[in-house]
Structure formats: structure tokens, C-alpha cells
Structure 1
Amino acid sequence: MMILKRIAVIGTGYVGLVSGTCFAEVGNSVVCCDIDAEKIRGLSAGIMPIYENGLQELVDKNVNENRLFFSTDIPKAIKESDIIYIAVGTPMSENGEADLTYVKSVAESIGSHLNGYKIIVNKSTVPVGTGKLVQSIIEEASKGEYPFDVVSNPEFLREGTAIYDTMNMERAVIGATSEKAAAIIEELHKPFQTKIVKSNLESAEMIKYAANAFLATKISFINDMANICERVGADVSKVSEGVGLDSRIGKKFLQAGIGFGGSCFPKDTMALLQIAKSVGYPFKMIEAVIETNQKQRAHIVQKLLDVFGDLNGMTISVLGLAFKPNTNDMRSAPALDVIPMLRSLGANVQAYDPIAVPEAERLLGDQAVYSNDLFSTVKDTDACLILTDWPQVKHMDVKKLKSYLNQPVLIDGRNLFELDDMKREGLIYHSIGRPGVQGEKILTKV
């Protein structure tokens, strides 16, 4: 029978809040802590700081069943817990390295309030060597008075499906400073019935970066292939299908589009590049992955220029602001690059997103007029540009869309529609890595 644990999770972002809630769901007593008092007050009142499918219901359930708690009293949580998860942010610094300011601060606090044997688990994505750094900080702050172990237990959550990914995790990576700590964290994961991968601290830290960098590489590879397809008359969707059926390759992350965004891939590829540089290794492949991703944002704007020649004074509707569906996260979202590009070319922008409008207003200000109503966004615009594959966009009435547009131009950065359907509707339709559909004539500004 599993021995349930008292767990403290420090940091209530995507990783901390989801992980803590799921640990509570399988029976543990969990306190999620943060220095942000407003966030903790909101959580205590049942107000989620992030949008994540199923999170509200699971938090409410475990709070009501007295397994999940929220607090700003980090010292108390440290003292009363057996296992302490560090799940604070590691944002990208100006030189591309992961900023460990918050991790170091938490480690210092843990060391200062250690009152017995604890297992300290790094859940944050951190560079190789951070586990040893955390260990040294705690040792110094605690003056060696109490024993403890450090574990690296990286997360592999996808925003929008983070609850499902935790409750049905494909694997749990456990890098530990002792067999005892590894065994306890393995026991903690038994309810998830997952494959356990044990290693040292350094290997566990590297696994996270290697996984994200490889997936980012697949995305940039297929986007480069898409750009070649456009030049030779090939259809990248068929290329992806044919390549993805090879069991050695697989079909996931082979969908051409406008590149990757979010909190992980951009940050982690840059961090891995900096790790390589720090040990004198020229990681040319990752440099190319990052370069391709950056260029893909401009590529979608160029498609508009190819149609009109000049965007000055035109009004463009943008569908999708979040970096992916089912989240309000706009970190490294294509919209953050594309909308300023459109504005710099003299275009006016009307932007739609079902839930990310408040984030967009905060990050982009008055560079666009925002709405959570799709067709009011499109109405009387000169062209429509798809940036996020929301279900509302994927299943929209294209005939109705055309009737609302001043000119029948649809630029699809997510390859959502069949070419024959667009031809039938008379749209001028351009997507990524597929032949364009010329549709009806437009009034160009060339």
C-alpha cells in the first residue's frame, strides 16, 4: 500500500499548480505556495490564475476534500512537508540562458528552514548542473544540520492537456542524489502507473532539454520542407503523411505552420544552445532550428504582400492570439511577431481569440482591435490571417467568412482547410507548403 506524503509545491504556475493538484488527486496532502499574495488569495477563493482544461474542477474537488491547500507561508510549508517541489519560473535571460534567480531564492529559503530530512525536487526546467547548485545552496543555508536529498523530476506537460498529461504520463524521469530519494519519488508516482526512468541529476536535467529540442527540430524541419514544397509545387501535407507513416519517424510534430511558441520550446532551445556554448560545443543544428522558427513568422506576412503588394491602409483580421488552442498563454506566440509586422507595414489589425484577449491587450496594447467574436472581427476586413487552430476557427463557416470580407483573401498559417474546398468557395487561399488557390480576382494595390 502506498504511503501518502505531505508535499509542498513552491510556485503556482502551470507546472506547480497542475502537478500539485494531481498529486492531491491521488491522495497526498499538498500545499501549493507562492510569494504572490494576490494569486494565493485568488486560488483560495477558487479563482484560477491560468486557463487549463479541467483544472478548476480538480482544484475545487481536492480543496473540498481537504487534500489541497494554498499558502504564502513558505517557511511553514517547508517545515511541515516531507517532499518539497521547486516549480518556479526559469525565464529566458537576455543572452538566452535560463534565469535561475527564483530557483536560487527558493533553495536558500529551504535551507534556512530545514528541520529534518527532506527530499527537494526540481520540477522547473533548469540547465544541467542546477541540481548540484541547489544542493550546495541548501547545504550552506542549513549549515549541514539536517540531511536532505535533491531530485530532478522534469515535467513533460502540454498546455491545454496538462491535467490529462499528468494523470496519464508517458514516463517519469527521476534523477536523484541517493537510492533512498529515488525510491520515495518512484513510490509517489505509482498511482500514475507510468514508466520510471532513473538516472543521476545531470542526465535527468538533460533529458528535458533533449526532448523539447528534438520536437522543436521536427517542427522546424517540416517548415523548411514546406517552404521548399511551395517552390517546387509539392504539397507538404502529403509529404508529412508519407514521412510520418515511417515508424522510425512518427507523424507527431510534422504539421507545417508558422512555427513553435509557448513557454517551453523557444526558451528551452535557446537554453540548450547556451549550455552547448558554455562547454565549447558548436550546436549548429539547434541554431538552425531557432533561425527557421524566427523566419517562419515573416513568411506568413510575406504571403499577404504577395497577394496585395502593399498593405498600407488595409485592415487585416487575425484569428488566434494564444500560441496554441485551449490556453490563454501568449508566451512566444506568433501573434506577438505578426501583428507588429502588419502594423509596421501600415495595416490596421482586428484580432480574435476566444480567451486570450486580456493577455493580448496587456502584451500588444493598442496595436489591434480585439474581440472574442469571430465574425465581428472579420467583418469589413481586406484579408483574414489564421494564426491559431482554435476549434472555432477550424470549424467556422467559410462561406459566411467570405461574405464578411471586403476581399476574398484567406491566409492560413495552420493548414486547416482542404484546397478543393477553398477553390469551390472562390477564395484566394494561401497556406504553408501547399499550392495556392487563386479564387476570385481582387482589387490589388500593386
Structure 2
Amino acid sequence: MAMKKVPGRWRQIPSGSTATSEKGGDMAKLCVVGAGVVGQATGKGFLKLGHDVTFVDVNADTVEQIRSNGFSAIFPEEIILRDVEAVFISVPTPTAEDGVNLSSLDQACHDIDSALAVFQSRPVIVFRSTILPGTTRKHLVPLLEKAAGDSRVGEHVCYNPEYLRERHAQRDFDCPRIITIGQSVRSEDAAHRLAELYHPFDAKVYRCGYEEAEFQKYVNNLFNAAKISFFNEMREMAKGLGIDPTLAFQLTVRSAQGMWDPLYGIHDKGVYGGACLPKDTNAWIEYMEESGFNPIFMQAVREINRSIGGA
């Protein structure tokens, strides 16, 4: 049972049981638009629960490959949404010179609208692509409503970020750590319907606003990028100093609070301070610069701290 709605706050929806023979209620017809890594993991995950899934893709080789493996796959012009409960859109959103390229996403919206115009039923439209905060509310919902000629389409739109690793996408979908559903006030019912589809998974479901969910997906990815870059810089510094960093990194996993405490640093407590962090950051940067190295990452760390009033 969902908790009461609290505007602007994250809400946790209790998880269901693991998917066995009691597959969480009635089976649904689902459509997955964009049959790449994310799309196929999503569709095949729901297939395992007994749902009726049709994959949609523009690439003939992809469609043929899916069909050859015994699954249903069609081209966008063949989409029929009669009795479809949900449409998952997982097309790529690559970075272009002027920002995120939404062309594939826009085309997917037009393809869906063409099919929506034929039937009165309204499936939940679930965006899975990584998009910048505000994209769903300011771009995708108006695009869908304009193309469909129906201002009520936005009542059925959710944003559902994926947390899938490319090499382990299927396993990650089947065994999710969390499930996040972004919604608007208008799409409360759609978010509930989507949460019900995820009910059989042994994971907590969190519902929040569109922008919060879009932002969180970027925070998720950028944190991973930042952590990798930090240790890459430390590795390069170690090489320059003639030090093998392997043991140091392994010990850091066990000693640094930022590693063993997942909540460390996320609370709004302002700048880093205390007796150690400012002085050691400054000392390290000066030592590296005097040694002929350029500690770009740590310089940025210090500048961020200073920009909000720190040392």
C-alpha cells in the first residue's frame, strides 16, 4: 500500500514479493520502444513475469535478431496499442554539440501518438532514457499532447530511470536495488499503475516529481564518473611518485568514512572543514604542484569548497 502523498517529498512504496508463480496480479500487454541494451533488459524482465511484451525498433537487424530468439518485435509504423497497459520508451539520448540529442525521443513520441490516435484507451507512457531535469514536463508531455491532440495525455506519463550496467543489464533489471518513478500531480494514477507492474520485484519503489527523478539519474551517473576520475588521478600521482597504489586503495575502502558510510557527505551541512580536510587538501595540492604534477580533480574539489565559503 502506498504512503500518503506529500508534495515535493520522496515517498517510499513497500516492495512486493519475489516473482514466482504469484506474479503480482493480472498479466499485462506491454510495449517497449527502443530495443537496445536497456529496452531488451526491460522487456525480457517483464516477460519472465509472464507479461505479453512487444519490442519496437527502427533497426531491421535488431528486429530480426529479437524475432529469431522467439520474441515479438515490430517496426514503429506497426505499433498497435489496443489493450496495452504500458509503453516503455528507452531510445538513446546521446550528447550533441548543443546539448542532449532528443531526436530519437521526439520520434518515439510521434510514433506513439500515431498509435494513440486510433484507440480511446490510454496506456501509461514510461520514459526510461536519461534526460536533463525538466525534459519530461517542459518538452515531452507538451509534445505528446500536441501530437495526439489531447491535453489529457500528460495524465499518463511517468519517468522511470534505469540503473543498468551495460554488461549486466538483465541481471540488474531482474534484481533492482531500487525503483524510481517520476510523476506529476496529474499522473498520480499512472504512477500507481506503474508501481503495480513493479510490485513482484524485491525492491523498494520511490515516487517523486519528474525533475527530482531526472536529476537523481544524473547524480547517480556523475557520482560514478567523479569517483572513477578521483582514483584515476590518485593512480597517476602514485605512479609519478613511484608508489604502487593498489594496497592504499584497498585500505581506503575500509578506512575512509566516505567509502564505508553511504550517507557520508550527502547531508546539507555546508563546506568540508575540521582539523584535517582543508589543511590536507591544500598540502596535497601544493606538494603535487611543486613535484611537477597537475592535480586537476583535487584543485576542483578545493575551488568548490571555497566557492561556498570554505577554506
Common fold by TM > 0.5: yes
Give a deviation string over 1:386-426, Cα, whole Å, max 9, x none: xxxxxxxxxxxxxxxxxxxxxxxxxxxxxxxxxxxxxxxxx
Paired positions, count: 236
Specify the code of the residue in structure 2 equivalent to 1:38.
Answer: D
Helix, strand or coil for the counterpart of 1:126? Answer: coil
1:262-301 correspondence to structure 2 within 5 Å: none
Specify the code of the residue in structure 2 equivalent to 1:81.
Answer: V
Any conservation in 2 of the 1:23–1:30 contact (CA below 8 Å)? yes
Specify the code of the residue in structure 1 equivalent to 2:216.
Answer: I
Q: 1:242 to 1:182 in 2, by over 3 A?
A: same
Higher relative contact order (CA 8 A, sep 6+): 2
Helix, strand or coil for the counterpart of 1:191? Answer: coil
Q: Are 1:106 and 2:108 an aligned pair?
A: yes
Q: Post-superposition shift, 1:15? A: 0.5
Q: Distance in 2 between matches of 1:4 and 1:287?
A: 54
1:10: which partner in 2?
A: 33
Specify the code of the residue in structure 2 equivalent to 1:98.
Answer: V
Q: Distance in 1 between matches of 2:92 and 2:86?
A: 19
Q: 1:183 to 1:246 in 2, by over 3 A?
A: farther
Q: Post-superposition shift, 1:3? A: 2.7
Q: Distance in 2 between matches of 1:176 and 1:213?
A: 23
Q: Are 1:82 and 2:85 an aligned pair?
A: yes
Specify the code of the residue in structure 1 equivalent to 2:207.
Answer: K
1:33: which partner in 2?
A: 56
1:376: which partner in 2?
A: none
1:296-445 correspondence to structure 2 within 5 Å: none
Q: 1:69 to 1:246 in 2, by over 3 A?
A: farther
1:118: which partner in 2?
A: 123
Q: Distance in 2 between matches of 1:172 and 1:232?
A: 44
Q: Distance in 2 between matches of 1:212 and 1:286?
A: 20
1:165: which partner in 2?
A: 172
Q: 1:74 to 1:197 in 2, by over 3 A?
A: farther
Q: Distance in 2 between matches of 1:161 and 1:288?
A: 32
Q: Distance in 2 between matches of 1:210 and 1:189?
A: 23
Q: 1:41 to 1:238 in 2, by over 3 A?
A: same
Give a deviation string over 1:258-300, Cα, whole Å, max 9, x none: xxxxxxxxxxxxxxxxxxxxxxxxxx979969xxxxxxxxxxx
Q: Distance in 1 between matches of 2:250 and 2:26?
A: 47
Q: 1:223 to 1:18 in 2, by over 3 A?
A: same
1:141: which partner in 2?
A: 147
Q: Distance in 2 between matches of 1:286 and 1:152?
A: 35
Q: Distance in 2 between matches of 1:45 and 1:286?
A: 51
Q: Are 1:155 and 2:138 an aligned pair?
A: no
Q: Distance in 2 between matches of 1:230 and 1:76?
A: 56
Helix, strand or coil for the counterpart of 2:167? Answer: coil
TM-score by length of 2: 0.70
TM-score by length of 1: 0.50
Any conservation in 2 of the 1:171–1:195 contact (CA below 8 Å)? yes
Any conservation in 2 of the 1:34–1:74 contact (CA below 8 Å)? no
Specify the code of the residue in structure 2 equivalent to 1:216.
Answer: A
Helix, strand or coil for the counterpart of 2:251? Answer: helix
Q: Distance in 2 between matches of 1:164 and 1:287?
A: 38
Helix, strand or coil for the counterpart of 1:161? Answer: helix
Any conservation in 2 of the 1:75–1:109 contact (CA below 8 Å)? no
2:191: which partner in 1?
A: 182
1:221-240 correspondence to structure 2 within 5 Å: 221-240=230-249
Q: Distance in 1 between matches of 2:192 and 2:255?
A: 37
Helix, strand or coil for the counterpart of 2:106? Answer: helix
Helix, strand or coil for the counterpart of 1:192? Answer: coil
Q: 1:8 to 1:288 in 2, by over 3 A?
A: farther
Gap runs ≥5 in structure 1: 47-62, 252-283, 290-446
